[in-house]
Structure 1
Amino acid sequence: MIKWLLTFLGYMYFRFPGAILGFIVGTLVDNYIRSSGGFLNSIGGQQKSSVSPGDFELNLLSLCSLVIKADGQVSQTELDYVRAYFVQSYGKERANATFRTFNEVVKNRQVSASRIGRYLAARTKYPTRLQIVHFLFGIAKADGRVSEAEARAIQEISGYLQITGRDFESIKAMFFKKADYSYTILEIEKTASNEDVKKAYRKMAKKYHPDKLGHMDEAYRKGAQEKFTKVQEAYENIQKERGM
């Protein structure tokens, strides 16, 4: 362990006071490595069998940074959105610690969407990854609009997270109210029968039900509720359109 090495070196050069200082500094370094090691593995391409809460938060923050920088402009509104989310999810003290660790670790490293996406895909459930994509779109929309560059960045991340194309387009449609977006949210064609519309609604309502994320933090459950509400709105729009 590093603390014993630094303790020995401290004693060699500065005797007893050096040994004490080496032990203290070494302990801090060991603790830091244990807390951030999984994150370093994910951006460095190595593998772990599971993802700890700390790893998840740091990797999520890394994906946030990719989306925020995607259009070449760092929006303060988007930064505030991310910070508010982390504070709501994990509390101010833990959120600040996550931001500090992120700044220290990533400062001189290139964040890889491919490595992080694959790392999380192998260690998180599909509903959790759907929520990540929804959250990333929320960041992009925080300043009023989702740029094409941001949408492309999220689509790339979505692919690495092993999100299906239909699910990605469904979530994207929740933030782009284009023609027939209600059908896209329900993952059906406009030519679908009324019975198929009802089946699609039941399927999507089940997929995005907040209970799917009952094990996650409050902010994640809130995001699941937002998607669930969008599915309900899409179904109601189609009902009105068709007089169902």
Structure 2
Amino acid sequence: MGSFTKWLGAGLGFTFGGPIGAAIGFALGSFVDGFSEKDLLQEHKEYQERVNTNRGNRANTQSGDFEMSLLVLASIVIKSDGKVDKRELDFVRSQFVGMYGKERANNAFKLFNGIIKKQVSARQVCIQIRQNMSHASRLQLIHFLFGIAKADEFVSESEIEEIRKIAGYLYINQRDFESIKAMFYDSSENAYKILEITKAASDSEVKTAYRKMVKKYHPDKLQGLGEEHLKGAKEKFQSIQTAYEKIKSERGL
């Protein structure tokens, strides 16, 4: 138990408490003897005293906060189509191995298997995330959730609607949502959707849109979340580059 709780406490801030903390506590109680939500909240209190952080300060979001938020939201999306697909679970595991290495990923996946058994309010979880996490980090959460939904090679309408609902709760507007969604589909119009414009946009508007998206999705905006979370940010950034190159090629720019 010691090594697991050491891992859990090392990178957590705001997710110690609230509905995310409750989900973590439930999951821990499922597979770690003598460790419950009450213990988690006590550890949260000690953590706050130890580092003297501001709970409402978005700048203090920890790497572990992003990790726990991913786990809880992923569990909601995976269950949204009424079944838990092994390919989606494998995708979550592979993403965590890629980000955190095997040992930390195995701990995270144990936790995930506990969280997925608990009914969690997407709205309450998203309110907690929204109050404590930057807009760039919230966009990255949505990108990851689409990756999970696409892992079984078919994104159901129920999954799309669940992610759309989560995006709304996270105060991510429709244009941003459609932009990220387009990164996971192949169609002639998707390059334009990714840049949040239409085919009717002028060459000048295309260039302006590209510069705006580069600024919005630059991986540097997620530096505070740790190197382990930059891979997904770079994939998202590459989608912007690819979309722009495709449009330039089509237009002979």
Instruction: Report whether the alignment pairs 1:49 with 2:59.
Output: no
* Structure 1 unaligned residues grouped into runs of 5+: 1-24, 38-47
Identity of aligned residues (%): 52
- Could you say which residue in structure 1 is the equivalent of 2:224? 215
Instruction: Report whether the alignment pairs 1:66 with 2:73.
Output: no
- Which among 65, 81, 85 is matched to residue 75 of structure 1? 85
Amino acid of the structure 1 residue aligned with 2:162 = A
Amino acid of the structure 1 residue aligned with 2:141 = I
Instruction: Report whether the alignment pairs 1:90 with 2:100.
Output: yes
Amino acid of the structure 2 residue aligned with 1:149 = S
- Give the TM-score taking structure 1 as reference length: 0.76
Cα distance between partner residues in 2 of 1:54 and 1:239:
39
Instruction: Report whether the alignment pairs 1:135 with 2:141.
Output: no
Cα distance between partner residues in 1 of 2:250 and 2:108:
47
Contact 1:127–1:213, Cα closer than 8 Å, also in 2: yes
Deviation at 1:59, TM superposition (A): 3.1
Amino acid of the structure 1 residue aligned with 2:216 = K
- Which among 211, 214, 218 is matched to residue 205 of structure 1? 214
Pairwise CA RMSD of aligned residues? 2.5
Which stretch shifts more, 68-77 or 50-59?
A: 50-59
1:70-92 Cα offsets, whole Å, 9 max, x none, are 22231111101111222333343
Instruction: Report whether the alignment pairs 1:234 with 2:243.
Output: yes
Larger-Rg structure: 1
Contact 1:68–1:150, Cα closer than 8 Å, also in 2: yes
Instruction: Report whether the alignment pairs 1:157 with 2:159.
Output: no
- Give the TM-score taking structure 2 as reference length: 0.73
Give the aligned length. Answer: 208
1:76-112 Cα offsets, whole Å, 9 max, x none, are 11101111222333343333333444555664x4211
- Could you say which residue in structure 2 is the equivalent of 1:6? none
Cα distance between partner residues in 1 of 2:202 and 2:169:
33
Any idea what SS the aligned residue of 1:139 has? helix
Higher relative contact order (CA 8 A, sep 6+): 2
Counterparts in 2 of 1:65 and 1:178: CA distance versus 1, 3 Å: same
- Could you say which residue in structure 1 is the equivalent of 2:7? none
Amino acid of the structure 1 residue aligned with 2:78 = I
Counterparts in 2 of 1:86 and 1:36: CA distance versus 1, 3 Å: farther
Deviation at 1:68, TM superposition (A): 1.1
Cα distance between partner residues in 2 of 1:180 and 1:104:
40
Amino acid of the structure 2 residue aligned with 1:212 = K
